[in-house]
Amino acid sequence: MRQLLDADQLHVHKQRNYVHSLLLIGGIGLILAITTTLLWGVYGIVISTGVIALLVLLAPSIPPAAVMRLYRARKVPRGDDQLSRILDELSQRADLLARPDLYLIPSATLNAFATGTPRHAAIGITEGLLRRLSMREVAGVLAHEVSHIHNNDLWVMNLADIMTRFVQSLSYMALALVVLNLFGLLTGETPFSWWVILLLYFAPALSSLLQLGLSRAREFDADFEAAQLTGDPLGLVAALGRLERYQGSFWEDLVYPVPTRRIPQPSLLRTHPPTEERIARLRELSGEPSLPPMVVVEEPLVSMLGYGPIAMRPRYRWPGLWY
């Protein structure tokens, strides 16, 4: 992918996000090493490393089409429509191994996400987002998801998720140690330190916080690369601002809930950074692009799904998905 923004800014940003992500992954790994050492000694680190490696290598990957079926998404045939042309150009600019499949989700919520691998990925975008954003803003959103695929963020987050879940499974042993200590109190001895038990019990919470921090770091990186792909940082700024206005805040939903404004919880999607901070970082970008910005023509958009507002209301589906 050719650099579209100032080279010095690109270097500083990439270095900052790389170090940030490395520290967060290292923090999760440190928590895992400490918990396994407390349980099995030094050999615990070797055991946990082997288990994590096997899970990463052998764990079956869910096909993108199967994920999209959970949301009742409809695949957009590759053709000469606006969305296909934009995604084709973004894929070429990002030098993707394969152009992602595009799916349209029958939901009034404003959302988009990517799933799969760089060789076989898919991007889902809701009908509500298409109806409320301009095509220039949609291009910025698609560029953000293409950046996730290009940077292999899906694999990185999957690694962090596996490590966190492994730490969580080890925390159940803390409950067993509590039972043993309670029996030990009858004999006047506690075989295990209460501090060790507390650390094992709260380790998953610490690991989850680091995982959310990693997610936010990858979001910032995807924003920056999306600006490179489109050559139009202000297009993504406009999209983020419009999304923030439509979705509102958590407190607004508590006072006056509007079903289509915010993606309800629980959700499969990760927590994103504050929109204000994302916009501020994008506005800091300077320098002339080496390639012209993408030419996005605002053509009349005809719904590809034909669903009305009632059919697109957010609904809960197993196992904790909202669409």
The pLDDT tens digits of the residues spanning 243-280 come to 888 765 433 444 434 444 444 443 333 456 778 888 88
Strand order across the beta sheet in which 112-117 lies:
74-75, 101-105, 120-126, 112-117
SS3 state at 15: helix
> Is residue 2 in a domain?
no
Q: What pLDDT is attached to residue 304?
A: 55
Supply 37's token pair: 């050492």
> Is residue 310 in a domain?
no
Q: What pLDDT is attached to residue 58?
A: 65
Tokens 């959310």 locate to 212
> Is residue 311 in a domain?
no
What's the CA gap between 27 and 209, in Å, rounded?
10
> Is residue 308 in a domain?
no
Q: What pLDDT is attached to residue 249?
A: 47
- Taking 50 as the pLDDT cut, the residues of the chain under it are 1-4, 249-270, 307-314, 316, 322-323
The range of the structural domain enclosing residue 97 comes to: 7-303+318-322
> Is residue 213 in a domain?
yes
The candidate with the shortest Cα–Cα distance to 236, out of 138, 131, 146, is 138
Give the count of domains, the chain. Answer: 1
Q: What pLDDT is attached to residue 46?
A: 84
Beta strands in the chain (DSSP E): 74-75, 101-105, 112-117, 120-126, 316-317, 321-322
Q: Is 89 a catalytic residue?
A: no
What's the CA gap between 221 and 204, in Å, rounded?
26
Q: What pLDDT is attached to residue 102?
A: 94
Supply 65's token pair: 């089409």
Q: What pLDDT is attached to residue 42?
A: 80
Q: What pLDDT is attached to residue 259?
A: 42
> Is residue 309 in a domain?
no
- What single-letter amino acid sits at 290? S
> Is residue 247 in a domain?
yes
> Is residue 312 in a domain?
no
b/e burial code for range 307-320 (CB count within 10 A of at least 16 → b):
beeeebebeeeeee
pTM of the complete model: 0.74
Q: What pLDDT is attached to residue 302?
A: 56
168 exposure class (CB count in 10 Å sphere: 0-12, 13-18, 19+): middle
149 exposure class (CB count in 10 Å sphere: 0-12, 13-18, 19+): buried
Indicate which residue of 89, 127, 137, 145 is catalytic: 145
